[in-house]
């Protein structure tokens, strides 16, 4: 049983590596022509650039650090605010109904366009990027929690009331844990968006960060550095996503895993 | 001095706003008393407002008119002297078995050490102490019902409300659970016998377990139309009480009343147009 599943996952890895090799191979092959390489870069040079950044010159860490700090701040602040706002409106339907058009309007607004305004408000430092990221993260978490609160099982709620829980105990022992599972289902999306917000913010006006590096490279038609930056960001996003999955599986032991047979 | 009964429903009516059709009267003029130490079952066709009555007794619903008395006191808000065992899954999925049984004691603010002892004791009684660390989704349906039972009984409520608690279980598990409930509520393990208000649509189950059965009419505006005292000897074993000849007599006389209502309710389901008298 275990050996077969192990050989199966080994097979999966082989296929994934094969596809990766294919993509890189195609990239390398097509970049042999200089007029194509001008547009797509060359994987070997991109690779040297990455090695340069990370191990030889070691000048990427400051920029990467800034971008990750912005991401983390936006992620934490956005999630907490989204959770609180979701709880509040989920628990007071009247307020929710009053605020409904405003929430819809803010959510439909193309919020990336706010970046220049945030630059004016908060300056060119990290806080304008954090602010932009928060606007992206907040709504994801908020809508998930809001929905989660509305979908708390009425039976579990009634049962907890019958067991003698008062209102604050209901919030702590029923609404919050129930909302947490919804928060976690939204975290994968929101951690990605926090990252997007930070990079786009840097791209639109900053003096530090990976987005800033990419913008600089574009200014000099240095396509290889642009791709190196993109790859680095992708890598970081993958690491963040894995972290979220780790934390999730540690905190959400009570949930049946996908594919796990549920006993009736 | 006469002791007030754990539960008295006086002339209870419940109406719900059903949108376009206006008010739907689920129950009308329900009078029902559960005496101390008595096991009362309410039977009736589907959709006759059995659960409504139970929710009124629990304080989860306030009746449109009428009065609910708990030990002679008018009920305000949640009935704190009652424990409620629901038909659907009611355990908190994010708490393991032990923490679920602990919940009520925790809400009461009981000493954690003492609470754990009480909860362990109840888990032992329902035979699930070995599963204390499991989460609800890792248990079978029967086991989850046992946890619910332990969760409710750990608070030692003076009145236990049960809403078709075993309807989702297979027949064997069901009989085991029924016997367990009878034993836990009326056996020697409790300090004093509990009063139970039990809702079911299964007449056999009702006769096997109850001291008294109340038959409700078909909805809307359902109300009690018959009351039967079940004088079968206790302690009972639900698996073989059906061999008792008196069981059949009781079954026949209650079914005679219930059958018409079931037919009425069935006809209404086929033709759902409201027929106001």
Tens digits of residue pLDDT in B108-143: 888 999 999 999 988 988 888 999 999 998 888 888
Closest CA in chain B for residue A175: B92
Q: Could you tell me if A175 and A239 lie in one domain?
A: yes
Q: Tell me if B206 is assigned to some domain.
A: yes
For residue A264, being part of any structural domain is answered with no
Contacts of A155 in chain B (CB under 8 A): 86, 88-90
Strand partners, B40: B197, B212
Contact B60 A158 (CB under 8 A): yes
Instruction: Out of A88-92, B151-155, B263-267, pick the least confident.
Output: B263-267
Q: Is the pLDDT of residue A200 over 60?
A: yes
Residue B68 belongs to some domain of the structure = no
Q: Best mutation site among A254, A258, A261, A262 for testing chain B: the one with the most B CBs within 10 Å?
A: A254
Residues A105 and A131 in one domain: yes
Confidence band for A168, pLDDT divided at 50, 70 and 90: very high
SS3 of residue B139 by DSSP: coil
Residue A113 within any structural domain of the chain: yes
- The DSSP secondary structure of chain A, one letter per residue, reads -HHHHHHHHHHHHHHHHHHHHHHHHHHHHHTTSHHHHHHH--HHHHHHHHHIIIIIS--HHHHHHHHHHHHHHHHHHHHHHHHHHHHHHHH-HHHHHHHHHHHHHHHHS-GGGGHHHHHHHH-SSHHHHHHHHHHHHHHHHHHHHHHHHHTS-HHHHHHHHHTT--HHHHIIIIIHHHHHHHHHHHHHHHHHHHHHHHHHHHHHS-SSSHHHHHHHHHHTT-HHHHHHHHHHHHHHHHHHHHHHHHHHHHHTTTSPPTTPPPP-
Q: Report DSSP state, residue B132.
A: T
The answer on A125 and A178 residing in a single domain is yes
Establish if A38 belongs to a structural domain: no
> How far is the C-alpha of B186 from the C-alpha of B78, rounded, in Å?
25
A18 and A49 within one domain = no
Q: Are residues A106 and A236 part of one domain?
A: yes
Q: Is residue A201 part of a domain?
A: yes
Q: What is the CATH number of the domain that holds A149?
A: 1.10.3720.10
CA A125/CA A118 separation, integer angstroms: 10
Count of structural domains within chain B: 1
Cβ–Cβ contact B65 with A under 8 A? no
Mapping DSSP to helix (H, G, I), strand (E, B) and coil, where does residue B14 land? Answer: strand
* Backbone phi, psi, residue B189, to 5°: -75, -25
- Asked if B104 lies within 8 A of A163 by C-beta distance, the reply is yes
Same domain, yes or no: A70 and A122: yes
Which residue reads 């047979």 in tokens?
Answer: A261
CATH number at residue B264: 3.40.50.300
> Is residue B208 included in any domain, yes or no?
yes
Instruction: Identify whether A80 is part of a domain.
Output: yes
CB B48 within 8 A of CB B265: yes
Q: Look at A159 and B60 and tell me if their CB atoms are within 8 Å.
A: no
Same domain (yes/no): A121, A187: yes
pLDDT-derived band of residue A2, with 50, 70 and 90 as boundaries?
A: low
pLDDT in tens, B144-175: 988 998 999 888 888 999 998 888 788 888 88
Q: How far apart are alpha carbons B129 and B96 in whole angstroms?
A: 12
Structural domain containing residue A203 = 43-251
Domain region containing B149: 34-60+82-270
Domain shared by A20 and A119, yes or no? no
The answer to whether B92 contacts A173, with C-beta atoms less than 8 Å apart, is yes
- Give the Cα separation of B61 and B66 in Å (integer): 12
Candidates B60, B79, B83, B93, partner chain A, best to mutate (most A CBs within 10 A): B93
Is B207 part of any domain?
yes
Structure confidence by residue, pLDDT tens digits, B176-203: 888 888 887 776 655 666 889 999 888 8
CA torsion angle A68 A69 A74 A76 (round to 10): 100
ipTM score: 0.85
Q: Which residues of A47-68 are buried (b: 16+ CB within 10 A; e: fewer)?
A: eebbeebeeeeeebeebbebbb
**B88 in contact with chain A, both atoms CB, cutoff 8 A:** yes
Q: Residues of B numbered 141-200 whose beta carbons fall under 8 angstroms of chain A's beta carbons: which are they?
A: 141, 151-152, 155
Tens of pLDDT along A53-73?
Answer: 888 888 889 999 999 999 999
Asked if B138 is an interface residue toward chain A (Cβ–Cβ < 8 A), one would say yes
| Tokens representing residue A66 in the block | 């800034």
The mean pLDDT value for A143-158 works out to 88
Chain B: residue whose CA lies nearest to A262: B137
CA distance B45 to B220: 11
> Are residues A20 and A143 located together in one domain of the fold?
no
**Is residue B9, in this structure, part of any structural domain at all?**
no
**Is residue B161 domain-resident?**
yes
- Domain membership of residue B240 (yes or no) is yes
Q: Which residue has the higher pLDDT, A128 or A180?
A: A128
A110 and A15 fall within a common domain: no
As for how many domains chain A has, the answer is 2
Let me know: does A178 contact A152? Beta carbons within 8 Å.
yes
pLDDT at A6 > cutoff 60: yes
For residue A158, give both structure tokens.
């009634």
Both tokens of A228, joined, read: 């190196």
pLDDT category of residue A218 using cuts at 50, 70 and 90: confident
The nearest CA of chain A is from the CA of B256 a distance in Å of 34
A24 and A79 assigned to the same domain: no
Task: Give the tokens for residue A38.
Answer: 């001008």
In a domain, A257, yes or no: no
Instruction: Note whether B94 contacts A262, CB cutoff 8 Å.
Output: no
Nearest-Cα distance to chain A for B71, in Å, is 17
Same structural domain, A99 and A180: yes
Interchain CB contacts (distance < 8 Å): A and B: 76
Q: How far apart are CA A128 and CA A117, in angstroms?
A: 9
Does some domain include residue A49?
A: yes
Does B80 sit within 8 Å of A164, measured CB to CB? yes
Gap between the Cα atoms of A78 and A144, Å rounded: 13
Flag whether pLDDT at A47 surpasses 80. yes
**Contact residues on chain B for A156, CB-CB shorter than 8 A:** 89-93
What is the token pair recorded at A234? 């992708």
Residues of chain A found within 8 Å of residue B152, distances taken between Cβ atoms: 162-163
C-alpha distance from B60 to closest chain A C-alpha (Å): 7
Q: How confident is the model at residue A3 (pLDDT cuts 50, 70, 90)?
A: low
């Amino acid at each position: 049983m275990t050996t077969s599943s192990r050989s199966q996952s080994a097979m999966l890895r082989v296929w994934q590596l094969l596809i990766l090799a294919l993509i890189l191979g195609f990239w390398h092959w097509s970049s042999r022509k200089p007029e194509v390489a001008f547009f797509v870069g060359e994987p070997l040079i991109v690779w040297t650039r990455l090695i340069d950044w990370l191990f030889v010159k070691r000048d990427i860490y400051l920029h990467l650090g800034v971008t990750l700090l912005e991401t983390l701040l936006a992620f934490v602040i956005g999630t907490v605010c989204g959770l609180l706002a979701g709880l509040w409106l989920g628990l007071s339907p009247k307020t929710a109904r009053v605020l409904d058009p405003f929430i819809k309007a803010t959510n439909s607004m193309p919020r990336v366009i706010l970046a220049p305004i945030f630059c004016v408000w908060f300056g060119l430092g990290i806080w304008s990027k954090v602010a932009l990221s928060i606007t992206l993260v907040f709504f994801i978490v908020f809508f998930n929690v809001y929905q989660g609160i509305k979908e708390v099982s009425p039976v579990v709620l009634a049962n907890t009331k019958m067991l003698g829980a008062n209102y604050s105990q209901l919030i702590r022992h029923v609404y919050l844990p129930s909302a947490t599972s919804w928060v976690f289902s939204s975290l994968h999306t929101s951690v990605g968006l926090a990252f997007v917000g930070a990079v786009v913010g840097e791209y639109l006006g900053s003096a530090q960060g990976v987005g800033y590096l990419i913008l600089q490279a574009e200014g000099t038609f240095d396509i290889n550095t642009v791709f190196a930056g993109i790859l680095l960001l992708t890598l970081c996003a993958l690491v963040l996503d894995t972290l979220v999955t780790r934390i999730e599986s540690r905190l959400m032991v009570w949930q049946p895993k996908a594919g796990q047979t549920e006993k009736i | 001095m006469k002791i007030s009964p754990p539960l008295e429903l006086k002339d209870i009516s419940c109406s719900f706003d059903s949108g376009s059709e206006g008010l739907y009267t689920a129950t009308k003029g329900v009078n029902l008393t559960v005496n101390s130490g008595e096991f009362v079952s309410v039977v009736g066709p589907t959709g006759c407002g059995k659960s409504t009555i139970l929710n009124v007794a629990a304080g989860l619903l306030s009746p449109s008119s009428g009065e609910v008395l708990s030990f002679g006191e008018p009920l305000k808000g949640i009935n704190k002297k009652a424990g409620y065992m629901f038909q659907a899954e009611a355990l908190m999925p994010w708490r393991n078995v032990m923490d679920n049984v602990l919940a009520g004691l925790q809400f009461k603010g009981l000493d954690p050490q003492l609470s754990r002892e009480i909860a362990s004791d109840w888990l032992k009684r329902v035979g699930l102490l070995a599963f204390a660390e499991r989460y609800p989704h890792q248990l079978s349906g029967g086991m989850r019902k046992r946890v619910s039972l332990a969760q409710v009984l750990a608070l030692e409520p003076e009145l236990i409300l049960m809403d078709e608690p075993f309807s989702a279980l297979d027949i064997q598990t069901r009989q085991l659970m029924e016997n367990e409930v009878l034993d836990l509520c009326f056996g020697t393990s409790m300090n004093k016998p509990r009063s139970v208000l039990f809702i079911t649509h299964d007449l056999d189950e009702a006769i096997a377990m109850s001291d008294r059965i109340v038959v409700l009419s078909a909805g809307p505006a359902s109300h009690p139309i018959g009351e039967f005292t079940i004088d079968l000897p206790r302690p009972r074993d639900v698996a073989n009480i059906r061999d008792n000849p008196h069981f059949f007599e009781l079954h026949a006389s209650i079914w005679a009343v219930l059958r018409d209502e079931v037919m009425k309710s069935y006809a209404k389901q086929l033709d759902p147009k409201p027929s106001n008298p």
